[in-house]
């Protein structure tokens, strides 16, 4: 994260969250409830860092060459020409700023024409035509292409830095690359996708993901296949937080009966599940036989869209196996989590809420909270 103006939160309110583990608390309530804070986060956490937009194949439906989306608070035009690299541009015409495509729109054409005065750009963002400017001697089309934005494909997912000011993606990911690479997510096939809207702030969802202190009370199915006190957390370079949990001796994977009808992934620990959160919006769960990804988009201070997708090793014809064993397990667990997150959101919206201390096994939550609080202070 680069240095940025501080968030609209007082230094006094943030101080308890920045204390060392064992003394630190969760963030102040305004961090989860304020529209002003969310507006700041959209600009500096989502547009200002590397936000995951999803998988390349899902982003660009068959035949699409351009896709308009919003990253944080900035309009982005993705260009996906054939099998070539994804390119990203500001969705802002170089004439007077009209959007080239509306957010969510796609195109299958080889050029995009601005709907306002018909300036047109090719898939590389180069200006092709600007009606009426041929006779203007001082006008140079070469200097009026779309503004390019940093984009990165990583193990099948596409990330954009919409402000164009973030450190290099390799620095952002840091040592997470070494943990994710053996699972080769880019080779896996989508088995299922669920869309959820959770009535809670995106950080409440993240914090819940990073601790299993709550598991004995609300996740009986999970505790049957994975001891809630097992595993440990990582403290390695990069803008991510995460840890591992073990499978019980009799369990092959995270499923309702502990059995896996799937194919094991080669070269990964068959007794461990990794839970990794890449700031700001991608949560990865890496199992011995499948990968699950939660991608979050904040809709409001108290509403978050969560896309949950499951990926499996391909079978002979390139399709996925029946994903229901993993989907049923995690859909049950997800809904238990969403219920808890929504209750937390209601509780911390109370005028009587005070940021509470973090338990000895909430160290990953402390890492995340510290990362957020440092970002709020503009320290990156």
Least separation in angstroms between residue 66's CB and ligand FES is 15
**95 is a site residue for ligand FES (CB under 6 A):** yes
Site string for ligand FES, 143-182 (x = CB under 6 A): ----------------------------------------
CB of 108 to ligand FES, least distance (A): 20
In the sheet that holds 157-160, the strands lie side by side as: 51-55, 157-160, 151-154
Rounded CA separation 126/123 (Å): 7
Q: Which stretch in 45-53, 89-97, 202-210, 355-363 sits in contact with ligand FES by CB under 6 A? A: 89-97
Distance in Å, CB of 90 to ligand FES, minimum: 13
* 134 contributes a contact to ligand FES by CB under 6 A: no
Contact window for ligand FES (CB under 6 A) among 4-12, 91-99, 173-181, 239-247:
91-99
Contacts (CB under 6 A) with ligand FES, residues 104-123: 114, 116-119
Least distance between ligand FES and beta carbon 59 (Å): 24
Query: Cα–Cα distance between 77 and 88 in angstroms, integer?
Result: 6
- The phi, psi pair for 306, rounded to 5°, reads -125, 120
Based on the shown chain and the rule CB under 6 A, indicate whether residue 93 belongs to the binding site for ligand FES: yes
Q: Which stretch binds ligand FES (CB under 6 A): 94-102, 162-170, 254-262, 354-362?
A: 94-102
- Joined together, the tokens standing for residue 290 give 């499948």
- Site size for ligand FES (CB under 6 A): 10
- The answer to whether the CB of 277 falls within 8 A of the CB of 209 is yes
Residue closer to ligand FES, measured from CB, 61 or 115: 115
Nearest to 190 by CA among 272, 73, 98, 307: 307
| Closest to 88 measured CA to CA, from 76, 106, 96, 99 | 76
Least CB distance from residue 114 to ligand FES, whole Å?
A: 3
Question: Looking at 61, 84, 85, 98, which residue binds ligand FES (CB under 6 A)?
Answer: 98
Q: Shortest approach of ligand FES to residue 149 CB, angstroms?
A: 18
| Residue carrying the six token digits 């080669």 | 266
Closest to 166 measured CA to CA, from 264, 9, 47: 47
Which of 46, 45, 44, 111 lies closest to 77 in space, CA to CA?
Answer: 111
Binding residue for ligand FES, selected from 3, 85, 96, 357, defined by CB under 6 A: 96
Residue 130 CB, nearest distance to ligand FES (Å)? 7
Cβ nearer to ligand FES, comparing 98 with 109: 98
Give which of 3, 134, 130, 152 is closest to 71, Cα–Cα. Answer: 152
* Nearest alpha-carbon partner for 244 in 215, 212, 221, 291: 212
Q: Yes or no: say if 117 and 127 are a contact pair by the CB < 8 Å rule.
A: no
* Least CB distance to ligand FES at residue 107 (A): 15
* Residue 114 or 373 with smaller CB distance to ligand FES: 114
| Window 221-250: contact mask with ligand FES (x via CB under 6 A) | ------------------------------
Length of the chain: 380
Provide the minimum distance between the beta carbon of 150 and ligand FES in the complex, in angstroms, as a whole number: 24
Strand, helix or coil for residue 248: coil
Pairing of strands 291-300, 282-286: antiparallel
Residue 380 CB-half CA count within 13 A: 12
Instruction: Provide the binding-site residues for ligand FES, judged by CB under 6 A.
Output: 93, 95-98, 114, 116-119
């Amino acid at each position: 994260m680069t240095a940025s103006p501080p968030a609209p939160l007082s230094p006094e309110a943030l101080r308890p969250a920045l204390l060392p583990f064992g003394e630190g608390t969760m963030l102040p309530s305004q961090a989860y409830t304020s529209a002003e804070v969310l507006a700041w986060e959209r600009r500096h956490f989502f547009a200002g860092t590397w936000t995951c937009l999803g998988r390349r194949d899902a982003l660009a439906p068959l035949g699409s060459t351009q896709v308009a989306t919003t990253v944080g608070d900035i309009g982005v035009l993705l260009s996906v020409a054939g099998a070539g690299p994804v390119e990203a541009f500001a969705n802002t015409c170089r004439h007077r700023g009209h959007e080239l495509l509306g957010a969510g729109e796609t195109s299958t054409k080889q050029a995009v024409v601005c709907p306002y005065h018909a300036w047109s750009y090719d898939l590389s963002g180069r200006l092709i035509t600007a009606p009426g400017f041929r006779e203007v001697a001082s006008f140079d089309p070469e200097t009026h292409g779309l503004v390019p934005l940093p984009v990165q494909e990583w193990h099948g997912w596409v990330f954009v830095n919409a402000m164009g000011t973030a450190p290099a993606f390799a620095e952002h990911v840091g040592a997470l690359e070494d943990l994710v690479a053996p699972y080769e997510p880019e080779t896996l096939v989508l088995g299922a996708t669920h869309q959820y809207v959770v009535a809670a702030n995106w950080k409440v969802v993240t914090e819940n993901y990073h601790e299993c202190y709550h598991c004995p009370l609300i996740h009986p199915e999970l505790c049957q296949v994975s001891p809630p006190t097992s595993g440990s957390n990582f403290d390695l370079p990069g803008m991510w937080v995460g840890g591992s949990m073990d499978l019980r001796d009799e369990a092959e994977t995270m499923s309702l009966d502990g059995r896996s009808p799937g194919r094991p992934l080669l070269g990964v620990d068959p007794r461990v599940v990794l839970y990794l959160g890449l700031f700001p919006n991608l949560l990865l769960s890496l199992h011995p036989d499948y990968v699950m990804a939660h991608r979050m988009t904040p809709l409001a201070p108290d509403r978050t869209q969560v896309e949950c997708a499951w990926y499996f090793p391909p079978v002979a014809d390139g399709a996925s196996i029946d994903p229901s064993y993993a989907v049923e397990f995690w859909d049950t667990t997800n809904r238990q989590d969403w219920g808890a997150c929504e209750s937390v959101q209601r509780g911390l919206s109370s005028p009587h809420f005070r940021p509470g201390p973090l338990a000895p096994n909430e160290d990953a939550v402390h890492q995340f909270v510290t990362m957020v609080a440092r970002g709020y202070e503009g320290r990156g």
